[in-house]
Amino acid sequence: MLGKPQGILFDLDGTLLDTARDLGNALNWVLRYHNQPTCEYEVYRNIASDGSQGLLEIGFGDRLLDYDIDTLKAQFLARYEQQICVDTVSFEGVVTLINGLNKADIPWGIVTNKPQWLTELLLPNFTEFDACKVVISGDTLAKRKPHPLPLTHAAEIIEVAPQDIWYIGDAKRDIDAAKAANMTSVVANYGYIGPEHQSHRWNADLYIDHPQILLQHL
């Protein structure tokens, strides 16, 4: 039996925001620049949480060995910065969930592996996140997920004990980080998860198919 959360922390890409199309657009721009075949949405969607490295690997495949990965990453990030919020939207139900947390006076925040400069460019486009109590990005601290430090640091800022916090994410590193931080782990099944990820093996405390399901636990 899960206790009521006193605080909630979220992953960003694939959990609060559906950023896959803008990330995929940046990937396809890089592929076209290098005269390579582009990648379909169905192929890159479930890789979107893995950042530039994962996207470039799925896009270039074996051809990636013919390029300098750091150059490709720089090109990808530059293009993504230019077009960071063209097709990005919050997942259905996220606004209702956030409103419910605010109404219940439950502090919440974001812990993402996205670089800070990109996180800071993206979040202001979504007024539903104005009440966010803390944002920890992938380069805010010396460690990032799956290390628990970003989660425990966020817990200190919102002044809630880790054992009273739920962490919601759509990748195994999110669940591993939550467990290591002694937080309740929740899998966002609606995010960038495919059968190949075998999320049922992550041994999370809770699996949800829609953000609003969390409201039933408040």
What angle do helix axes 172-180 and 149-158 make, rounded to 10 degrees?
A: 60
Q: In a 3-state reduction of DSSP, which class is residue 111?
A: strand
Q: Which residue, 114, 170, 168, 121, is CA-closest to 139?
A: 114
Q: Which residues are catalytic?
A: 11
Cis-peptide, bond into residue 162, ω within 30° of zero: no
SS3 content of the chain, % helix, strand, coil (to 5): 50, 15, 35
Q: In a 3-state reduction of DSSP, which class is residue 155?
A: helix
| Residues 166 and 13: beta-carbon distance below 8 Å | no
Which uninterrupted H or E stretch holds 17? strand 17-18
CB atoms within 10 A of CB 163: 12
